[in-house]
Amino acid sequence: MATTTTKSPALLVGQSLRRREDPRLITGTATYVDDVKMPGMHHACILRSPHAAARIRGIRTSRALEMPGVVAVFTGEDVAHLGPVPCGAALPGLRVPAHTVLARDRVYYVGHPVAVVVATDRYLAADALDAIEVDWEPLPAVADPEKALEPGSPAVHPEWPDNIAFTYKQEGGDVDKAFAEADVVVRQRLVNQRLIPVAMETRGVVAEWKPGDRQLTLYTSTQIPHLVRTLVAGMLKMPENRLRVVAPEVGGGFGSKLNVYAEEALMAFVAMKIGKPVKWIESRRENFVATIHGRGHVDYYEVAAKRDGTILGIKLKLIQDIGAYHQLLTPAIPTLSILMMPGLYKCKNVRADLIGVFTNCTPTDAYRGAGRPEATYGIERMVDILAAELQMDPAEIRFKNFVGSGEFPYQTATGLSYDSGDYAAPLRKALETVSYKTLREEQRKAREAGRLIGIGISTYGEICALGPSASLPCGGWESATVKIEPGGQVTVLTGISPHGQGEETTFAQIVADELGVSIDDVVVLHGDTSLVQYGIGTFGSRNTAIGGTALYFALQDLKEKLKKFGAMLLESDDVVWNRGRCVCMKSGKEVTLPEIAAASYRAMKLPENTDPGLVATRFWEPPNFTFPFGAHIVVTEVDSETGAVQILRYVAVDDCGKIINPLLVRGQIHGGVVQALGQVFYEHAVYDENGQLVTGELTDYAVPKASYIPAIESYHTETPSPVNPLGVKGVGEAGTIGCTPAAVNSVVDALSHLGVRHIDMPLTPEKIWKVIQDRRTA
């Protein structure tokens, strides 16, 4: 549906352009928060609780204050007037604990901030941290969400002894009837373990207060500068236009920087208090406990089906580990899982019971995919378990249950309207790519020879382009301003806040095509609230589908205005816009965009009812989510002696709608898949029974290294979305969503002849070895 006025081969949309962001990044000249330096800048270090639960009987700061270079130490009492760390999500009956910026009389998780030291130098601040004396009274803690629900378990928040943060139910169709009529019901407990996002850049904040202007500037490593501005201004009880938030270069987020953190308000407070700029850079150890974690689900699934494989109903009891507090979107994340319960299948009868549970752990929140990988993992594991029960081929059972390509828009049992799709197409392509039939034959032969080869399939759908405003507590629209400068160059101000996704390139591709300007004449700016009109930010694969669409409409507005000026200059009513020039259809005369731009700013003459200048701003509200989909196939071999898994082949076929830049889309898929392989094989935030995070550094928490993973083969089908004129759907989370069930299905498939039906992630060699041992002795 994308409308362009020419079919010139020089169109950039669809081309694999290398990124325009890269020159500063590959030369080490980009500015991340820790690269911000200001005259008189001080450094802050934060004292954090080593206990998961404890009363603070007293804090002595006097020794720290006497240390060289130390200018201040602040504790909970000093910041008691600041508003709480916000929870943006609302659910009926939601219990929201008071989440103060610094702990006051009690701490609730390891890493809970207790005091802040400010010194002239970061080494001196670190020294002084050791000199703060806290009189702790350790209390019993609970780290496991299922244990937290048991009667008599320690109460995370004494006011709610049952540890229940909220309950939520959703039902569609007639589930009881579906189960009553079923030939077969399969049940399985599935765990989506707690993960640590590990953006390579930890968080950091630089705060600068200019008392003369009553103006505060926060440089913070965030995905959502405008929302940080609104919410931190609220915490500080400060007018929003006195606060400027800048997201400089951001070194990865994956949802962990889609948040408002205590330290952002805390550094603002410190800067105003000491009258000097202050910098806080999170250490990796802090990052492991003080930045949100992801996942943390325990799911109890039941799937009812007919003997022919038709899925009739799905029941889910979902236990979400909340951690000690709600962060910005914590309670909303598992509700996304519920929305996605039926996956790509036509099942109209679903019931979900969700319990959010407080634990003495770091809060969970959005992490790459945010609720959707968990849901896909659930349905895609269950479909495989069902197929095994019915002795059906896992591909066949999927084909049987897919929503048909003629059924769109498709209303799901959870109230969604799937926009467009051909769900069988990527699966067919993936099966062809791996030569599925031959591969099954090879698997059979290998098995006879004693080798354990597995073939795992997942077909996923996802909810992207978050989202219509009704679905998000912060609003779900996006904004763009396009300015054609007097010289004809184009400046774009986008409300999204990309940090690696590449919109400085893809948006420039769209601009170049729409306006017919050289891409070198386009500059895309973002991430500074004093420069850019309000925007929502970057998450939920929304940049191009929503931010790009806002840009697209702003460009249409400008094209209209360009035509008006063109008509005036050509003295004709019959003009068209043709890639960079306005052409008179009668005379064939034309004026170029720079000529029009000059005329519009000079404004000697103006078209009727037209203002000078060429600036357009659009705030675009999407009518629906987009629903990308795809199929991943993973071939693995399990070493029967050690339990180690080798991935022999990884094939991903993803449909993210129209593709603006194939090179960047592939990059997103690769990154997403490998992040998910981390969950499948390596990553697990392990707490001991006292709430100590025992995988507290990168030496114990393994993220994938280059040598751990194979090459990813990435292919696409392209089904445009009718939701936006660009036809794009989003690709940021696809890899993460499609991968986990495919990989686990593959390993389980390798062991299926031993009677193995399920193994929880992470699939460590020891776990697999034990399963094999148990099966062989059974």
Partner 1 sequence: MKKTITLFINGQRYSHEVEPRLLLVHYLREVVGLTGAHIGCETSTCGACTVLLDGKAVKACTVLAVQADGRFVTTIEGIAANGSLDAVQEAFWNEHALQCGFCTPGMILTAKQLLAREPNPTEEQIRHGLEGNLCRCTGYQHIVNAVQAAASRSGD
Partner 2 sequence: MIPDTFDYSAPVTLTEAIELLSSGAKALAGGQSLIPLMKLRLASPQHLVDLSRIPELSGIREENGVLHIGAMTTHYEIESSMLLRSACPLLPQTAGRIGDVQIRNMGTIGGSIAHADPASDYPAALLALDATVRIAGAGGFRTVSYEDLLVDSFLVALEPGEVIVDIMAPVDPPNTGTCYVKAPQAASGFAIVGVAVRAVKSDGVVSSARVGVTGLAAKPFRARSVEQALGGTRGTDADITRAAALVGDGVDANSDLHASADYRKHLAEVYLRRALRAALI
Partner 3 sequence: MIIEGTRSVALEPQRLYTLLQDPDTLARCIPGCESLVKEGDQEYRLKMKLVIASVNGLFDGKVRIADPSPHESFRLIVEGSGRAGFVKGDGVIRLTSDNGAGTNVHYKGEVHVGGTIAAVGQRLLDMTAKMVIKRFFDKVSEEAVAKASGT
Q: Where on the chain is the footprint of partner 1 (CB under 8 A)?
A: 18-19, 21-32, 34-35, 122-123, 198-202, 249-254, 281, 283-285, 499-502, 663-664, 666-667, 669-675, 697-699, 703-707, 709, 711-712, 735
Site string for partner 2, 654-673 (x = CB under 8 A): --------------------
- Nearest approach, Cβ of residue 767 and partner 3 (Å): 17
Which CB sits closer to partner 3, 22 or 697? 697
> How far apart are the two ends of the chain, measured CA to CA in Å?
60
Q: How far is the CB of 660 from partner 3 (least distance, A)?
A: 43
**Distance between CA atoms of 526 and 543, rounded to whole angstroms?**
12
Residues in the chain: 778
Output 181 or 689, the one with its CB closest to partner 2: 689
Residue 636 exposed, middle or buried by CB count within 10 Å (0-12, 13-18, 19+): buried
Which one among 693, 712, 726, 771 touches partner 3, defined by CB under 8 A? 693
Cβ neighbour number for residue 177 with a 10 Å cutoff: 13
Amino acid type, 727: G
Residue 323 CB, shortest distance to partner 3, in Å, is 17
| Residue 750 in tokens | 């390798």
Contact 488, 593 (CB under 8 A): yes
**Would you count residue 50 as binding partner 3 (CB under 8 A)?**
yes
Q: Under a CB-based contact definition with an 8 Å cutoff, are residues 321 and 389 in contact? A: no
Give the one entry of partner 3, partner 2, partner 1, none that residue 770 binds, where binding means its C-beta sits below a cut-off of 5 to 8 angstroms depending on kind. partner 2
Single out the segment in contact with partner 3 by CB under 8 A; choices: 284-292, 597-605, 668-676, 764-772. Answer: 284-292
Q: CB of 510: closest distance to partner 2 in angstroms?
A: 41
Compute the distance between CA of residue 737 and CA of residue 374 in angstroms, rounded to an integer.
8
Q: Measured from the CB of residue 727, what is the shortest distance to partner 1 in angstroms?
A: 22
Strands in 230-349 per DSSP E: 243-246, 278-281, 297-305, 311-323
Question: Judged by CB under 8 A, does residue 764 bind partner 3?
Answer: no
Residue 703 has what DSSP assignment? P
Tell the smallest beta-carbon distance from residue 262 to partner 2 (Å).
20
Size of the site for partner 2 (CB under 8 A): 27
Residues 733, 369: contact at Cβ < 8 Å? Answer: yes
SS3 679: helix
CA distances from 471 to 417, 602, 654 (A): 13, 45, 25
722 binds, among partner 1, partner 2, partner 3, none (CB under 5 to 8 A by kind): none
Does position 451 bind partner 2 by CB under 8 A?
A: no
CB 35 to partner 2: min, Å: 18
CB of 766 to partner 1, least distance (A): 22
* Per-residue x/- track, 112-141, partner 2 (CB under 8 A): ----------xx--xx--x-----------
User: 141 and 691 in contact (C-beta within 8 Å)?
Assistant: yes
Choose, by CB under 8 A, the member of 17, 41, 89, 110 that binds partner 3: 110
Cβ atoms 733, 672 nearer than 8 A = yes
Q: How does DSSP assign 135-156, residue by residue?
A: EEEE------HHHHTSTTPPPS
Among 66, 183, 611, 700, binds partner 3 (CB under 8 A): 700
Q: What residue 250 binds from partner 3, partner 1, partner 2, none (CB within 5 to 8 A, per partner kind)?
A: partner 1
177 binds partner 2 (CB under 8 A): no
Looking at 116-124, 242-250, 692-700, 750-758, which segment touches partner 3 (CB under 8 A)? 692-700
Task: Return the SS3 of 19.
Answer: coil
Q: Are strands 42-48 and 278-281 parallel, antiparallel or unpaired?
A: parallel
Between CA 318 and CA 335 the distance in angstroms is: 10
Is the backbone of residue 527 left (phi > 0), alpha (psi -120 to 50) or beta?
A: left
- Residue 29 corresponds to which amino acid? T
Residue 269 or 681: which CB sits closer to partner 2? 681
| Identity of the residue, 285 or 589, whose beta carbon is nearer to partner 3 in the bound complex | 285
At 656, list the tokens: 């993210």
267 lies in the binding site for partner 3 (CB under 8 A): no
What CA–CA distance (Å, rounded) separates 422 from 399? Answer: 11
Residue choice 572, 690, 752, 764 for contact with partner 3 (CB under 8 A): 690
State the binding partner of 495 from partner 2, partner 3, partner 1, none, CB within 5 to 8 A by kind.
none
Quote the least distance from Cβ 690 to partner 3, whole Å. 5
Rounded to whole angstroms, how far apart are CA atoms 480 and 266? 31
- Note whether 420 and 627 are within 8 A (CB): yes
Q: Using the minimum distance from each CB to partner 3, give the nearer residue, 67 or 474.
A: 67
693, interface contact from partner 1, partner 3, partner 2, none, CB < 5-8 Å by kind: partner 3
Region of 492 (left: φ > 0; alpha: ψ -120 to 50; beta: rest) is: beta
Report CA-CA distances (Å) from 178 to 14, 310, 343, 384, 737. 45, 11, 17, 19, 28
- The verdict on 692 binding partner 3 (CB under 8 A) reads yes
Q: Which does 641 bind (CB under 5 to 8 A by kind): partner 1, partner 2, partner 3, none?
A: partner 2
Nearer to partner 3, 603 or 694 (CB): 694
Q: What's the CA gap between 727 and 86, in Å, rounded?
A: 35
Binds 690: which of partner 2, partner 1, partner 3, none (CB < 5-8 Å by kind): partner 3
In the complex, minimum distance from the CB of residue 344 to partner 3, in angstroms, rounded to a whole number: 41
Number of chain positions touching partner 3 (CB under 8 A): 17
From the list partner 2, partner 1, partner 3, none, pick the one residue 711 interacts with, judged by a Cβ distance below 5 to 8 Å according to partner type: partner 1
Instruction: Find where tokens 């791996």 sit.
Output: 434
| Interatomic CA distance for residues 330 and 522, integer angstroms | 38
Closest to partner 3 by CB, 30 vs 703, is 703
- Residue 673 touches which member of partner 1, partner 2, partner 3, none, C-beta under 5-8 Å by kind: partner 1
Q: Which partner, partner 3, partner 1, partner 2, none, binds residue 682 by CB below 5 to 8 Å per kind?
A: partner 2
Contacts of 643 (CB under 8 A, 6+ apart): 764, 765, 766, 767, 768, 769, 770, 771, 772
Residue type, 492: V
The token pair at 124 is 């001196």
Tell me if 84 sits within 8 A of 76, measured CB to CB: no
User: Interface residues for partner 2 in 685-744 (CB under 8 A)?
Assistant: 686, 694-695, 698-703, 708
Q: What minimum distance in Å lies between the beta carbon of 489 and partner 2? A: 43
Contact status: 695 vs partner 3 (CB under 8 A): yes
| 25 vs 585 by CB, closer to partner 1 | 25
Residue ranges of alpha helices (H) inside 3-157 are 22-26, 62-65, 122-129, 145-148
Point out which span in 189-197, 317-325, 338-346, 636-644 binds partner 2 (CB under 8 A).
636-644
Residue 381, H or E segment: helix 372-390
Determine the Cα–Cα distance for residues 382 and 614; give it in Å rounded to an integer.
Answer: 55
> Scanning the structure block, which residue is given the tokens 């029941």?
315
Q: Are strands 410-411 and 417-418 parallel, antiparallel or unpaired?
A: antiparallel
Q: Which is nearer to partner 3, 53 or 375 (CB)?
A: 53
φ, ψ of residue 192 in degrees (nearest 5): -105, 100
Of 174-182, 691-699, 726-734, 741-749, the segment contacting partner 3 by CB under 8 A is: 691-699
Nearer to partner 2 by C-beta: 283 or 646?
283
Contact residues for partner 3 (CB under 8 A)?
50-51, 110, 130, 285, 288-289, 688, 690, 692-697, 699-700
Binding site for partner 2 (CB under 8 A): 122-123, 126-127, 130, 283-285, 641-642, 644, 681-682, 686, 694-695, 698-703, 708, 765-766, 769-770
